[in-house]
Amino acid sequence: MAEVGTGRHPLIELCDVHFAYGQQDEILSGCSLALFEKQKLGVTGPIGSGKTTLLWVIVGLLRPRSGTIIAFGKERVKESDFYEVRRRVGLLFQQVDDQLFCPTVIEELAFGPLNLGKSQEEAWAIANEVLTELELEGYRWRCPYHLSAGEKRLIALASVFTMKPDVLLLDEPTAELDEKTRKRVTQIIAQLPQAMIIVSHDEDLLDSVAHARLVLQDGKLWDEDYSRRGG
Amino acid sequence: MEASQDVPWHLLGKDTEAPWLERVDPRTRLLGVFFFCCVLAFLGGWLTLGLALGGTIGLAIAADWHPRKILLQLLRVSAAISPLLLTLPWSTPGEVFWSAGPLRVTVEGMTLAGQTFLKVNTLVLFTTACLGGLDQFRLGHALVELRISPKLALLVILVSRYLYLVYDEYQRMRRVLKVRGFRPRLNRHSLRTLGRVVAWLVVKSAERSQRIQAAMKCRGFSGKFPKLFPSQIGPEDRLFVSGLVAVLALLALLGAFAGLP
């Protein structure tokens, strides 16, 4: 593991987490990981290996069979424990279509801040700030349904940023993007100060951004070097 | 709408290019529809109801509805209530107007059918002209602000979102079937395929709705849809309300003088 962040308390920590959908076989069988401040962690793995499931478990959308989840120094068990986690962790969904539902982009971006109790003026200001930061001002009054897949992903990313999260969980952030936008997103992610877990198959992205890489295979997270050696 | 930081705050979210009725606050429009329906329900008489329908058509035209669209809407509504219109004349007791064997068409029945036709068309046209342009969010927020029921508002928002989602999923599956060379015919293969499509539609829509719920939770959603733009009562609202009050007063007076049928 790289130097960044080690030696302090982790922001997110999973210990021996087991998870299965209903009566199916376990998809996570003993996952452990620690995410430290400012650390950018890349996660790869074959299709269906449970990468998305892992992210959903961290924010409490799925409850593990066993194992502990510690976020921001507290163990999280109940639904109410995860309210704070979801406020401080921004999750970018793989299917961005499901993340967008407001009639205009600006309302989409303001949805999170308003939910966090910000006033209309504050939410408007935050939403505009993020639009400017990501150079998306042209989309302000557009309807999210009518955007292309790549544009939707940018808007979804922006709507995560407006929550001002401490930690980002990005599920395939560069999928479906054209070369130019992919580079831009990679650049944006590289400049972000937050700690993050990036699930991706995009080698360029992981090479230029991730401090460390993990591979999710057979329900466990392996250090990439370890799995390369055939472990 | 031009995006600019210089737009005065209270005008944000208002489409200044839209027809004037679209600029009337959703709350005003909801209340307008409510009172209009209440008053119209008690009115009778050909002249009164005819004027009400005429006035409503005038409102629709003022709201930039194409005459063709209005005509289509009237035809659709009439088709929907046609069973009622066709059976009322000979199922209402009263003075016999015309008879053939056991069938008796009564004057009262014809009056009732005709006035029902006018009333229903007026109500539906007025409601769609006022509320048709609202998306589910504006409608939901208006319901909340009128303190009707936050739960009802949430239902309005989520149901329309869900219907859109099922429709979207259906479109996607239709494209997939087309690309894979499926042409519906009346045979076992087609029926089985269509059966699977329906089953998949339910399963996939349900799964997708769970993902949407998850996404909303992640963004701090706690059962209340927040609103970005402040509501604003403007000159359009005053025009709408004063026009409505004048028309309703006129109709009520006419109804009172003409007497109930």
3-state secondary structure of B98: strand
CB contact under 8 A, A93 and B215: yes
Q: Chain B residue with minimal CA distance to A95? A: B211
Q: Which long-range contacts (CB under 8 A, 24 or more apart) does B170-178 make?
A: B170/B201, B173/B197, B173/B200, B173/B201, B173/B204
Q: Are the C-beta atoms of residues B52 and B251 closer than 8 Å to each other?
A: yes
Kindly list the distances between the CA atom of residue B209 and the CA atoms of A97, A108, A169, B157, in Å, as whole numbers in the listed order: 11, 18, 21, 13
Read off the pLDDT of residues A152-192 as tens digits, 9 standing for 90 and up: 999 999 999 998 899 999 999 998 888 988 998 899 899 88
Task: State residue A225's pLDDT score.
Answer: 66
> What pTM did the predictor assign?
0.75
Of A99, A116, A128, the CB nearest to B215: A99
Q: Are the C-beta atoms of residues B101 and B36 closer than 8 Å to each other?
A: no
Position with higher pLDDT, B99 vs A228: B99
Q: Are the C-beta atoms of residues B108 and B90 closer than 8 Å to each other?
A: no
Q: Exposed/middle/buried for B13, CB within 10 Å: 0-12, 13-18, 19+? A: buried
Kindly list the distances between the CA atom of residue A185 and the CA atoms of A166, A208, B149, in Å, as whole numbers in the listed order: 19, 12, 42
Say which residues have a Cβ less than 8 Å from residue B94's Cβ, sequence separation at least 6: B106, B107, B108, B109
Query: Percentage of residues in chain A with pLDDT exceeding 90?
Result: 55
Task: State residue B103's pLDDT score.
Answer: 83
The residues with which A70 forms a beta bridge, in sequence order, are A13, A75
Residues of A in contact with B138 (CB under 8 A): 103
User: How far apart are alpha carbons A116 and A114 in whole angstroms?
Assistant: 5
Residues of B in contact with A153 (CB under 8 A): none
Q: Chain B residue with minimal CA distance to A120? A: B228
Kindly list the distances between the CA atom of residue B150 and the CA atoms of A177, B131, B143, B158, in Å, as whole numbers in the listed order: 39, 19, 7, 12
User: How far apart are alpha carbons B121 and B125 in whole angstroms?
Assistant: 6
Task: State residue B258's pLDDT score.
Answer: 67
Q: Are the C-beta atoms of residues B214 and A61 closer than 8 Å to each other?
A: yes
Task: State residue B38's pLDDT score.
Answer: 92
Determine the average pLDDT of the residues in A195-211.
92
User: How far apart are alpha carbons A92 and A98 in whole angstroms?
Assistant: 10
Confidence of residue A4 (pLDDT cuts 50, 70, 90): low
Shortest Cα distance, chain B CAs vs residue A168, angstroms: 12
Of A90, A137, A141, the CB nearest to B1: A141
Pairing of strands A220-223, A212-217: antiparallel
Residues of A in contact with B1 (CB under 8 A): 141
Q: What is the pLDDT along chain B (261 residues), one digit of tens a residue?
A: 444 444 545 455 556 667 788 888 889 999 999 999 999 988 888 889 999 999 999 999 988 889 999 999 999 999 999 999 999 988 888 888 888 878 888 888 999 999 999 999 999 999 999 988 888 888 888 888 888 888 888 888 888 878 887 888 888 888 888 888 888 888 888 888 888 888 988 888 888 888 888 888 888 888 788 888 877 788 889 999 999 999 999 988 888 776 554
Shortest Cα distance, chain B CAs vs residue A143, angstroms: 12
Task: State residue B16's pLDDT score.
Answer: 65
Q: Per-residue pLDDT for A20 more than 70? A: yes
Closest CA to A175 of A102, A109, A92, A104: A92
Shortest Cα distance, chain A CAs vs residue B19, angstroms: 18
Find the length of chain A: 231
Between CA A217 and CA A20, with CA A91 as vertex, the angle to 5 degrees is: 40
Q: Chain A residue with minimal CA distance to B135? A: A103
Structure tokens at B92: 């209402």
Query: Percentage of residues in chain B with pLDDT exceeding 70?
Result: 92
Determine the average pLDDT of the residues in A108-127.
90
Q: Chain B residue with minimal CA distance to A97? A: B212
User: How far apart are alpha carbons A31 and B9 in whole angstroms?
Assistant: 50
Task: State residue B64's pLDDT score.
Answer: 86
User: How far apart are alpha carbons A208 and A190 in whole angstroms?
Assistant: 7
The span from the first CA to the last CA of chain A, in angstroms, equals 17
Q: Per-residue pLDDT for A7 more than 60? A: no
Read off the pLDDT of residues B164-206 as tens digits, 9 standing for 90 and up: 878 888 888 888 888 888 888 888 888 888 888 889 888 888 8
3-state secondary structure of A92: strand
Q: Secondary structure of chain A: what % helix, strand, coil (to 5)? A: 40, 25, 35
Task: State residue B7's pLDDT score.
Answer: 52
User: How far apart are alpha carbons B95 and A129 in whole angstroms?
Assistant: 74
Determine the average pLDDT of the residues in A83-102.
87
3-state secondary structure of A44: strand
User: How far apart are alpha carbons A64 and A73 in whole angstroms?
Assistant: 19
Pairing of strands A167-171, A195-199: parallel
Query: Percentage of residues in chain A with pLDDT exceeding 70?
Result: 94
3-state secondary structure of B14: coil
Q: Chain B residue with minimal CA distance to A161? A: B219
Residues of B in contact with A116 (CB under 8 A): 220
User: How far apart are alpha carbons B144 and A225 in whole angstroms?
Assistant: 56
Kindly list the distances between the CA atom of residue A108 and the CA atoms of A128, A140, B115, in Å, as whole numbers in the listed order: 11, 10, 46
Read off the pLDDT of residues A33-53 as tens digits, 9 standing for 90 and up: 999 999 999 999 998 899 999
Position with higher pLDDT, B178 vs A138: A138
Q: Report the 10 Å Cβ neighbour count for B178.
A: 10
Shortest Cα distance, chain A CAs vs residue B225, angstroms: 8
Residues of A in contact with B9 (CB under 8 A): 121
